[in-house]
Structure 1
């Protein structure tokens, strides 16, 4: 059975600085139907999607530990305009979650690259949805000190339980 969940947006503690602007992020503005229990950040296990349609699957380990997998479609979608699971760049993740604060690192399978995410889980009680908003840093191998500036990229991501409209 499903019901509409209404209320105010819940706010968590910030673990890492971040700037989020509504104009940058595009996701459906719809009221979501949720199961009989209210939307919550208590258990984030399962599949999540970011604004570029990359897919992350979280599994809770012991205590505060997170494990899972990440499939990024960024290069495929930007190059070809579409994506399939066979085209995804894949990685394994490990991290931690405590209350609403979380951090995890993805080690990519096909390169000497890692991406770390730090952010919070938020409940939008008006829509009955949950979002994870995080800042990220991607680090890739550089063979010379002179090129070290090329090795770090930063950005932000919003993960939801439903696929979002990709914005490139």
Structure 2
């Protein structure tokens, strides 16, 4: 019985020794850089580091406020009056492009934005082109911080034009995208856009 045990134990012992040798060899093959990288990953994933990183990221982020003058990639401008405590706002939109037969005029806009602490709020607004067209546009978007900390508005829009009959409904709505950047700073107490700004 003891001889049989030693015969069985011999291959098991050889196998365990081989595994141990592989583990030692594998550990020896890990470079200092890999060991340092592993140690750094453990340190940066610690609770202290994550809370520190989150705290400083939050404190350096400024809240996006749509108040002020904005211009998009087509040259259209919008002036947003003061955003209230609920995120509601109004203003004036002066489009640079139109298919209407009448001359372009600044038109009223009204909208709402989320007042998120991380500063990258979503928003939406409607423009009534009642001064020169029978169309209405709705914009939705989000505010992002650019490389220099400047605010950038990425928007998508739907434009609904009036049609004379139901069969023409298929061609009545257009869609597109625009990017807005802030133009200067809004003066304290300014509530409506000047003609020069538009």
What TM bracket, shorter-length normalisation? 0.5 to 0.7
User: Against the structure 1 CA distance between its residues 147 and 58, is the aligned structure 2 distance closer, same or farther, given a 3 Å change threshold?
Assistant: same
- 8 Å CA contact 2:104–2:132 kept in 1: the answer is no
Gap runs ≥5 in structure 1: 1-37, 77-86, 164-168
Partner residue in 2 for 1:149? 170
What is the SS of the residue equivalent to 2:75? coil
The structure with higher relative contact order (CA 8 Å, sep 6+) is 1
2:179 maps to 158
Q: Is structure 2 residue 151 aligned with structure 1 residue 130?
A: yes
Give structure 2 stretches of 5+ with no counterpart.
1-59, 185-198
Describe the shift of the 1:41–1:153 C-alpha distance in structure 2 as closer, same or farther (beyond 3 A): farther
After TM superposition, where is structure 1 displaced by more than 4 Å over at least 4 residues in a row? none
Name whichever structure is richer in strand by fraction: 1
Please state if 1:117 is matched with 2:133: no
Distance 2:63 2:78 in 1: 16
Q: Bigger radius of gyration, 1 or 2?
A: 2
Matches of residues 50-69 of structure 1 in structure 2 within 5 Å? 50-59=72-81, 60-69=83-92
> How far apart are residue 39 of structure 1 and its match?
7.5
Q: Is the 8 A contact 2:64 2:151 kept in 1?
A: no
Q: Any idea what the Cα deviations from partners look like across 1:132-163, whole Å, max 9, x if unmatched?
A: 10110000111111111121000001000149
Task: Quote the offset at 1:41 in angstroms.
Answer: 4.0
Task: Output the CA distance in 1 between the equivalents of 2:70 and 2:142.
Answer: 14
Tell me, yes or no, if the aligned pair for 1:70 and 1:93 is still in contact at 8 Å.
yes
Matching residue of 1:102: 123
* Correspondence 1:91 to 2:114: no
How far apart in 1 are the matches of 2:85 and 2:107? 21
Does structure 1 residue 72 correspond to structure 2 residue 95?
A: yes
Report deviation, 1:62.
Answer: 4.9
More helix by share: 2
Aligned residue number for residue 43 of structure 1: 65
1:44-71 Cα deviation digits (max 9, x unpaired): 2110000001000112145210100000
